[in-house]
């Protein structure tokens, strides 16, 4: 590790790089080639990303600064305080830009008959409708609170919208808060024959607040929302006395509700009286206060298409795209034997996750399948995958599920699923202290006539049916003996808590993944100008990998990095990173797949992985990278890469300044994601419905993989 790496001049701060990426998302909202409602979605994506940033990254820096940690960031030389001092002004500039873009889009929608209005702009009929709606649908759910000697200042919850008010009664003035219930819709559609008109629910509550405090006079009111630090570590000593890991995670979630406020958003500038009161009770300063004109809750934008007619949808949203069934499989036949004969690659969201779900469903009912083993990090809120795992366990299969309860913001969802899986008879384990299990692997074992056969699926993304339609990921289905052997060893090691297991083919963090990547870069360094490295990842922050890539660049190795988000490595720095190119693509889908390629031609080594080039992935998580050993699959991944490298529309190139720039003077625009949709030739088959069959438990055999299994004599 290089001490004071930032002095080398080819790295940048992780947090500021994150803000650059977030700004890139916001710039998509300005792109007039993007349909207007899709542009509005990018405004929401920017806002959600920024809120998460303040909860996770700023929360961590806030805690370090509060503890007087003076250690500087090795990529920028900034202390925690220095980073915070850079982050807050940048975020305020970003939100000001966000508000301007939102207002432009609001006016653009209004010209097309989609009107986002205030309560005061409603006509008589709409006002009458709103009053009735408030009394019947909203008022019964409200829990207003005044603050006095008998009612303490409320513990404002992260992400909840509150109406904050000053109410004057005959002898005193008090502060009051009305939380906006999350069970209410974000917007209320008004009755109108020719136009779509809607108001925001929090605006309605604020407008009718005088009816809640009937005996008082509201002197001041505004909408506020806070973001609290989410940086709570389940492995801290404070949780050491809790042995049940589910109970420990539930306590972590409770603790998160009381963490430091890192950001307070206000719908207007508060009076000095109101500001002083809020700052004092929340323990914040002016720095943490953001005054924004855009709605506090922007999630409603995803529901807008449902309000449009077909012509409006065509004009204002992306053309619909349904992920295709992979043409590599015959869905009228069993999938397991087909995958035994040839490797299959699924490319989400262009291809559907259905083949994998169908394989699980088939395996749950197949009397010859004896076990299913899987790792789970994030799942859909209603996951058929869990249905099939439970069904398999109820049918007598051994179902082993390693579920990560520490998946940030999905903790409660995973706790609920872990209980359901256990109730169905699955064996559930929860990972390790200090390490998150982020790998994506499934192993299915079948025994016929005493002989075991296996299929493994290794993916770059979660087994999540919803995000598989929104994120670009690759899933590799194989029965390759080397991968199967390592897959069996992986699950055996996880079951006994052995992190330092040995694997011949798979790269498994925290033991072999990083060291192998460094060795593979060294191999390319030896080739000099003939060396080649390509990586498609979400983030690049690992210092050792960054330093090694710089060494490779200095040796003449040509390096291309396709990095969706954070990139602490700055390319194009003379004498250091001039042979490195960094590209970024932000578009309709979230780029999420990870691909590593070292070398070219016959010497090429290709992997897909769950891990980014981040220290947290390479050193503090259990991750898997699998080599692509099938030539046809390898060639297909190369075609995907070629398409991404041809993009000249959504791509941005990182300059030595640390900023991304468009490719100028494009004659023929090429959009990689659109090309992938156009070129993905799916099957015209449909998956036939299967009846639910419950069979007695299959006979259990020794399922240890034996690559030297003797062939039967003819």
Same domain, yes or no, for 447 and 518? no
The two counts, helices (H) then strands (E), for the chain are: 19, 27
**pLDDT tens, 460-482?**
999 999 999 999 999 999 999 99
For residue 146, what are its two tokens?
């005044």
Q: Which of 485, 536, 601, 484 is nearest to 347 (CA)?
A: 536
Percent of the chain clearing pLDDT 90 (strictly above): 77
Q: How confident is the model at residue 59 (pLDDT cuts 50, 70, 90)?
A: confident
Lowest mean pLDDT among 119-128, 230-239, 614-623: 230-239
Q: What is the CATH number of the domain that holds 170?
A: 3.30.1840.10
Query: How many beta carbons lie within 10 A of that of residue 640, not counting itself?
Result: 22
- The residue count for the chain: 714
pLDDT recorded at residue 418: 87
Q: How confident is the model at residue 243 (pLDDT cuts 50, 70, 90)?
A: very low
Continuous H helices in 560-660: 615-619, 631-646
Same domain, yes or no, for 241 and 107? yes
For residue 494, what are its two tokens?
């996880």
pLDDT recorded at residue 250: 60
Question: Does the structure show a pLDDT above 90 at 145?
Answer: yes
Same domain, yes or no, for 525 and 444? no
Residue 612 in contact with residue 538, Cβ under 8 Å? yes
Buried/exposed code over 390-415 (b: 16+ C-beta within 10 A; e: otherwise) = bbbbebbbbbbbbbbbbbeebbebbb
Lowest mean pLDDT among 27-31, 136-140, 278-282, 702-706: 702-706
Q: Total domain count for the chain?
A: 3
Is 706 within a domain? no
> CB-based burial of residue 523 (10 Å sphere; 0-12 exposed, 13-18 middle, 19+ buried)?
middle
Which of 465, 495, 525 finishes a domain? 495
Q: How confident is the model at residue 233 (pLDDT cuts 50, 70, 90)?
A: low
Is 328 within a domain? no
**pLDDT tens, 323-370?**
999 999 999 999 999 999 999 999 999 999 999 999 999 999 999 999
Is 147 within a domain? yes
Question: Does the structure show a pLDDT above 90 at 231?
Answer: no
Phi–psi pair at 652, nearest 5 degrees: -130, 145
Same domain, yes or no, for 485 and 567? no
Is 704 within a domain? no
Show Cβ contacts of residue 163 under 8 Å, excluding neighbours closer than 6 positions. Answer: 177, 178, 180, 202, 205, 206, 209, 221, 222, 223
Q: How confident is the model at residue 417 (pLDDT cuts 50, 70, 90)?
A: confident
What amino acid positions are annotated as catalytic residues?
438
Give the three-class secondary structure for 276: helix
Q: How confident is the model at residue 666 (pLDDT cuts 50, 70, 90)?
A: confident
Same domain, yes or no, for 305 and 373? no
Gap between the Cα atoms of 330 and 655, Å rounded: 47
Question: Does the structure show a pLDDT above 70 at 681?
Answer: yes
Q: Which residues pair with 458 in a beta bridge?
A: 441, 476
Q: How confident is the model at residue 709 (pLDDT cuts 50, 70, 90)?
A: very low
pLDDT recorded at residue 693: 35
pLDDT recorded at residue 525: 98
Q: How confident is the model at residue 514 (pLDDT cuts 50, 70, 90)?
A: very high
Q: Which of 129-138, 432-441, 694-703 has the highest mean pLDDT?
A: 129-138
Task: For residue 29, give its domain range.
Answer: 5-316
Residue 40 in contact with residue 299, Cβ under 8 Å? no
Average confidence score pLDDT of the chain: 90
Gap between the Cα atoms of 13 and 18, Å rounded: 9
Same domain, yes or no, for 297 and 418? no
Gap between the Cα atoms of 444 and 452, Å rounded: 10
pLDDT recorded at residue 431: 78
Q: What is the CATH number of the domain that holds 621?
A: 3.30.870.10
pTM given for the model: 0.90
Same domain, yes or no, for 279 and 377? no
Percent of the chain clearing pLDDT 70 (strictly above): 91
pLDDT recorded at residue 711: 42
Torsion of CA 390, 393, 395, 397, to 10 degrees: 140
**CA 101 from centre of chain:** 24
| DSSP codes, 456-491 | EEEESS-S-TTGGGTEEEEEEEE--HHHHHHHHHHH
* Of residues 589 and 693, more confidently modeled: 589
Gap between the Cα atoms of 500 and 484, Å rounded: 18
Is 363 within a domain? yes
Show Cβ contacts of residue 464 under 8 Å, excluding neighbours closer than 6 positions. Answer: 378, 379, 380, 383
Residue 165 in contact with residue 175, Cβ under 8 Å? yes
Same domain, yes or no, for 193 and 273? yes
Query: How many beta carbons lie within 10 A of that of residue 375, not counting itself?
Result: 27
Same domain, yes or no, for 202 and 72? yes
Q: Which of 509, 532, 497 is nearest to 438 (CA)?
A: 509
* Of residues 122 and 56, more confidently modeled: 122
The whole-number average pLDDT for the span 167-171 is 88
Is 682 within a domain? no
Same domain, yes or no, for 517 and 662? yes
Q: Which of 318, 266, 261, 321 is nearest to 290 (CA)?
A: 266
Same domain, yes or no, for 400 and 472? yes
**pLDDT tens, 109-141?**
999 999 999 999 999 999 999 999 999 999 999
pLDDT recorded at residue 71: 81
pLDDT recorded at residue 234: 42
For residue 142, what are its two tokens?
């409200």
Gap between the Cα atoms of 593 and 639, Å rounded: 15
Q: Which of 523, 507, 703 is nearest to 607 (CA)?
A: 507
* Of residues 241 and 346, more confidently modeled: 346
Question: Does the structure show a pLDDT above 50 at 196?
Answer: yes
pLDDT recorded at residue 471: 97
Element (H, E) at 513: helix 513-527
Is 687 within a domain? no
Phi–psi pair at 515, nearest 5 degrees: -65, -35
In the numeric block, the tokens 């008022």 are attached to 139
- Cα angle at 272 between 269 and 276, to 5 degrees? 105
> CB-based burial of residue 345 (10 Å sphere; 0-12 exposed, 13-18 middle, 19+ buried)?
buried
Same domain, yes or no, for 480 and 538? no
The whole-number average pLDDT for the span 154-178 is 93
Q: Which of 320, 388, 318 is nearest to 353 (CA)?
A: 388
Is 684 within a domain? no
């Amino acid at each position: 590790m290089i001490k004071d790496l930032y002095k080398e001049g080819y790295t940048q701060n992780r947090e500021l790089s994150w803000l650059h990426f977030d700004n890139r998302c916001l710039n998509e909202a300005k792109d007039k080639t993007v349909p207007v409602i899709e542009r509005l979605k990018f405004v929401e994506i920017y806002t959600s990303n920024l809120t998460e940033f303040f909860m996770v990254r700023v929360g961590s820096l806030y805690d370090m600064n509060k503890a007087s940690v003076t250690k500087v960031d090795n990529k920028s030389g900034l202390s925690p305080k220095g980073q915070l001092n850079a982050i807050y002004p940048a975020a305020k500039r970003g939100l000001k830009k966000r508000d301007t873009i939102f207002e432009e889009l609001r006016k653009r929608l209004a010209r097309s008959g989609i009107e986002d209005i205030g309560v005061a702009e409603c006509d008589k009929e709409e006002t009458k409708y709103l009053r009735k709606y408030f009394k019947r649908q909203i008022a019964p759910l409200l829990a207003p609170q005044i603050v006095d000697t008998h009612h303490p200042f409320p513990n404002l919850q992260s992400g909840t919208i509150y109406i904050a008010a000053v109410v004057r009664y005959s002898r005193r003035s008090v502060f009051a808060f009305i939380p906006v219930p999350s069970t209410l819709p974000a917007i209320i559609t008004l009755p109108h024959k020719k136009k779509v008109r809607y108001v925001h629910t929090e605006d309605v509550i604020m407008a009718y607040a005088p009816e809640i405090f009937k005996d008082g006079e509201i002197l001041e009111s505004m909408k506020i929302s806070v973001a609290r630090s989410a940086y709570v570590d389940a492995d801290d000593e404070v949780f050491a006395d809790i042995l049940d890991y589910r109970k420990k995670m539930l306590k972590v979630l409770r603790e998160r509700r009381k963490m430091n406020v890192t950001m307070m958003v206000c719908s207007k500038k508060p009076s000095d009286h109101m500001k002083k009161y809020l700052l004092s009770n929340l323990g914040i300063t002016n720095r943490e206060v953001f005054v924004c004109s855009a709605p506090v809750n922007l999630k409603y934008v995803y529901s807008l298409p449902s309000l449009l007619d077909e012509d409006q949808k065509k004009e204002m949203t992306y053309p619909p795209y349904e992920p295709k069934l992979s043409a590599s499989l015959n869905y009228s036949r069993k999938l397991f034997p087909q995958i035994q004969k040839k490797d299959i690659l699924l490319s989400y969201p262009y291809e559907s996750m259905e083949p994998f779900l169908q394989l699980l469903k088939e395996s749950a009912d197949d009397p010859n399948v004896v076990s299913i083993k899987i790792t789970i990090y994030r799942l859909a809120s209603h996951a058929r995958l869990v249905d099939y795992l439970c069904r398999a366990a109820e049918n007598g299969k051994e179902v082993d599920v390693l579920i990560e309860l520490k998946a940030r913001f999905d903790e409660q969802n995973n706790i609920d699923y872990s209980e359901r899986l256990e109730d169905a008879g699955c064996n559930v384990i929860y990972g390790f202290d200090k390490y998150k299990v982020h790998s994506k692997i499934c192993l299915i074992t079948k025994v016929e006539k005493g002989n075991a056969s296996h299929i493994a699926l290794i993916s770059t993304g979660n087994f999540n049916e919803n995000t598989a339609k929104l994120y670009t990921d690759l899933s590799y289905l194989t029965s390759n003996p080397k991968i199967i052997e390592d897959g069996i060893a992986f699950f055996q090691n996880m079951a006994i808590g052995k992190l330092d297991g040995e694997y011949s083919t798979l790269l498994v963090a925290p033991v072999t993944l990083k060291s192998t990547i460094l060795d593979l870069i060294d191999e390319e360094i030896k080739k000099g100008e003939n060396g080649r490295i390509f990586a498609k990842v979400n983030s690049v922050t690992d210092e050792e990998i960054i330093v090694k890539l710089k060494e490779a660049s200095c040796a003449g190795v040509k390096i291309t990095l396709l990095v969706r988000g954070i990139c602490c490595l700055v390319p194009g720095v003379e004498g250091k990173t001039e042979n490195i190119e960094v590209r970024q693509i932000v578009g309709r889908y979230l780029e999420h797949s990870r691909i590593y390629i070292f070398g070219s031609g016959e010497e090429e080594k290709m992997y897909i992985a769950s891990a980014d080039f981040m220290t947290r992935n390479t050193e503090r998580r259990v991750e898997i990278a699998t080599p692509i050993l099938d030539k046809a699959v390898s060639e297909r991944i190369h075609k995907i890469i070629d398409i991404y490298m041809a993009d000249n529309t959504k791509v941005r190139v990182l300059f030595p300044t640390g900023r991304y720039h468009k490719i100028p003077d494009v004659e023929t625009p090429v959009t990689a994601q659109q090309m992938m949709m156009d070129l993905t030739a799916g099957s015209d088959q449909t998956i036939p419905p299967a009846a639910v069959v419950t069979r007695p438990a299959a006979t259990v055999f020794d399922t240890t993989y034996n690559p030297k299994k003797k062939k039967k004599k003819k």
